[in-house]
Amino acid sequence: CITVKDITGVVCQIKLRATLLRTANRSMVYIPNSVFVTNPVHNAARGDYTPVVFEWTVPISTTTEQIRQFGAELMNFCDLNPSVAENGVSNSLDLLSFSHGGYKLRATIYYKEGGRHLYAT
């Protein structure tokens, strides 16, 4: 997750003239690469936070609403935990793929080094 000017998001794609960011509200924003040369860039992954990545598959019978509810609960957990990156900006739940076996999901949570342990039930 990076912040340049007043825009914060995850880098999705870097092209010759622009970089595509996904913001916390899932908007896709193209930033001209010249902005990165002329402005300071804060990279949350390079700071005090370490990414923790979980990947798993849920059954194909899982509904979209159940996945959305889980994502909302995960982001709420992140927002309430002082050891997780602020505002949930860096944290994400992504659908990687789907097949007959189910939906493959990935959660990325940025955890503050030296913070308390993360516990979830």
pLDDT tens across 57-94, in order?
999 999 999 999 998 998 888 878 877 766 445 678 88
pLDDT at 44: 67
pLDDT at 88: 43
Residue 119 vs residues 32, 80, 82, 83, 84: alpha-carbon distances, Å: 40, 12, 12, 11, 11
Give the model's confidence band at 30: pLDDT under 50 very low, under 70 low, under 90 confident, else very high: very high
17-21, 31-35, 86-90: least confidently modelled range = 86-90
Structure-model confidence comparison of residues 49 and 73, the more confident one? 73
Mean pLDDT of 33-59: 81
Q: Using alpha carbons, select from 100, 106, 11 the residue that is nearest to residue 67.
A: 106
